[in-house]
Structure 1
C-alpha cells in the first residue's frame, strides 16, 4: 500500500467511525489495565495468604520459644532449690556417734557431732551388752557409759548398729577392742 492509498483509506473514514475506534482503543486499554489489576490482585491475595501463613508460623515459633523459656526457668528454679537444699543439708548440724573403749568391760558412746541425738537405741539385740537405757539422748560431746561382757556363747560384737529420732536407717558403729 502506498501513500495515496493510505490517504484515501483515511479519508474514507467517517466521523462515526472515529469515535467507535477511539472507544475500541479505550476499551482495549481498559481491558489491559483490568487484566493487570487482576494479576496484581492475585499477587496481593497470594502475598496476604503468605503473610498469614508466616504470621501463623511466627506465632508457633514464639509459643515454642516461650515454652522452652518457661521450661528452662523451671529447671533453673528447681536446680537452685536443690542446691539450696543441699547447702542447707551440708551445713546442718550432724550427729556423730562413736564407741570408745574405757577399761575392762566398760565402753563409752560419745556424740562428737554438733546435733543432739534423741532416743538412741540399738537396731539389733546384742546379748553381750548391758546397761543401755531406752530413752538415751546425747548432746554435743556428751557420753554414755555402758558395758559389754563377752563369754563363750556371746562375744563382744565388732560393730553395733544404732538408730535415733530422725535416723531410721541403722548406723554401724565400730567397737574398739580392748588392749588387754
Structure 2
C-alpha cells in the first residue's frame, strides 16, 4: 500500500530523493532512475482522466434523463389511451381530460406559429383592424381630457375672481400691500 495520493507526487518524491543522494555521494544521476515523463505531464494525464470521467458522467446522466422522459411520456400516452377508450368515464377521468385539454391549449397559445400563408395574412389584417380601433379610442380619451381642461380653466377663472374680490386670500399676498417678492426697481 502506497502513502502517496497520486503517481505524480510519488514520482516527484522519488526524483527529489535521487537528486539528494547524487549530490551527497557526488555521483551523476542515472538515466534509468529518471523517468521520461515529467511531473507536469503526469499531472496533466491525471487531470485529463478526470475530465474524461466527468464527460462520461454527464453523458450517462443525459442518457438516463432522456430515457426517464421517454418512459414518462409513454406512461402518459398509455393513461390517455386507457381513459379515452373507456365507455363511461369517472369524475377523476373527466378531471384528467380537462387538465390535459387546458395544458394542450396553453401549449398551443405559447408556441403558436402559423405556417399557412393565407391564414397568416388574414391574422395580420384582423390584428391591424383591431389596432386601428384601439388607436381611435385613444383619440376619444384625449378629447375627453381636453374637455376637462376647459372645465379646469373655468375653475381657475372663478378662483382668480374670488381673489380679486377678496373673498379668499392667496398665500404670498398681503391685503392692500404688494406681493412679498415684489421689487420696485422691476416696475420702473
Structure showing greater radius of gyration is 1
Structure with the bigger RCO (C-alpha within 8 Å, sep 6+) is: 1
Q: Counting strand residues as a fraction of each chain, which structure ranks higher? A: 1
Q: TM-score over 0.5 for the alignment?
A: no
Greater per-residue helix proportion? 2
